[in-house]
């Protein structure tokens, strides 16, 4: 598909993101000028997330509270050839349009970006490197790495499994049955607020414990409660 013909739909699931949503959406306005679209799917925020987003999105949708359900809802109402699922506290590289336009037949491809965490602690640099290496080796993409997937492939694998947690790992497993991800070395910058609030080492242990429990088929609703 020629770069001038393809369209990206940036799908953002939100829940009480008033502190980060303006910075996120401001960085997407050039993409809107290039005829790409921004679709925000809110899970019932009780702050000013939706109000602040009104003039900065092409579509604002209200959905049941669940990241997987919100992203699937956004995809159903999006019109792009490629869906890019973006967390509200993550910032895309400025040249996102050029990066994705280089991917031949993007409707049938999927991938992610390298990640950089916003914090300055030296441990964040180690965590980033480990996350990026792990993703290249396993092909598993986390939501913080900003998954993108072509429309045709997204529906071929059945969209996101509508589970309470680990939906990013679940869809990666489905997508790996078709191809390895395109791993883009340009970085997205994701907020380190959860790590800083709860403690870096404690958060590492918690996240790997949740993944281990998921591997052993622990109920995802219980996992979500542990995560929160």
| Assigned token pair, 126 | 């180690």
Taking the C-alpha atoms of residue 117 and residue 193, their distance in angstroms, rounded to an integer, is 9
CA atoms lying within 13 Å on the CB side of residue 21: 26
The domain limits of the chain are 8-227
- Please tell me the number of Cα atoms within 13 Å of 161 on its side-chain side: 14
Mean pLDDT by 10 residues, the chain (228 residues): 70 95 93 94 96 96 95 96 95 88 88 95 94 95 95 96 94 96 95 88 90 87 84
DSSP state at residue 152:
H
Residue pair 43/74 in contact by the 8 Å Cβ criterion? no
- Are 132 and 114 in contact, with CB atoms under 8 Å apart? yes
CATH of domain 8-227: 3.90.550.10
**pLDDT recorded at residue 5:** 64
Q: Whole-model pTM?
A: 0.93
94: burial class by Cβ within 10 Å (0-12, 13-18, 19+)? exposed
Using alpha carbons, select from 54, 150, 145 the residue that is nearest to residue 103. 150
């Amino acid at each position: 598909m020629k770069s001038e013909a393809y369209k990206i739909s940036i799908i953002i699931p939100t829940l009480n993101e008033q502190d980060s949503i303006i910075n996120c959406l401001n960085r997407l306005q050039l993409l809107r000028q290039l005829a790409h679209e921004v679709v925000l799917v809110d899970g019932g925020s009780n702050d000013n997330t939706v109000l602040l987003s009104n003039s900065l999105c092409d579509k604002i949708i209200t959905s049941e509270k669940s990241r997987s359900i919100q992203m699937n809802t956004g995809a159903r109402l999006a019109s792009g050839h490629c869906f890019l699922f973006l967390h509200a506290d993550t910032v895309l590289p400025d040249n996102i349009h050029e990066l994705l336009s280089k991917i031949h037949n993007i409707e049938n491809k999927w991938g992610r970006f390298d990640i950089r965490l916003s914090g300055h602690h030296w441990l964040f640099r180690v965590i980033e490197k480990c996350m990026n290496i792990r993703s290249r080796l396993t092909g598993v993409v986390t939501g913080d790495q900003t998954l993108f997937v072509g429309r045709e492939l997204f529906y071929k694998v059945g969209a996101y499994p509508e589970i309470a947690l680990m939906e990013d790992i679940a869809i990666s497993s489905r997508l790996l049955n078709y191809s390895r991800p395109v791993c883009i070395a340009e970085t997205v910058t994701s907020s380190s607020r959860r790590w800083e609030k709860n403690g870096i080492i404690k958060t590492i242990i918690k996240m790997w414990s949740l993944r281990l429990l998921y591997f052993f088929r622990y109920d995802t609703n219980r996992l979500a409660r542990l995560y929160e």
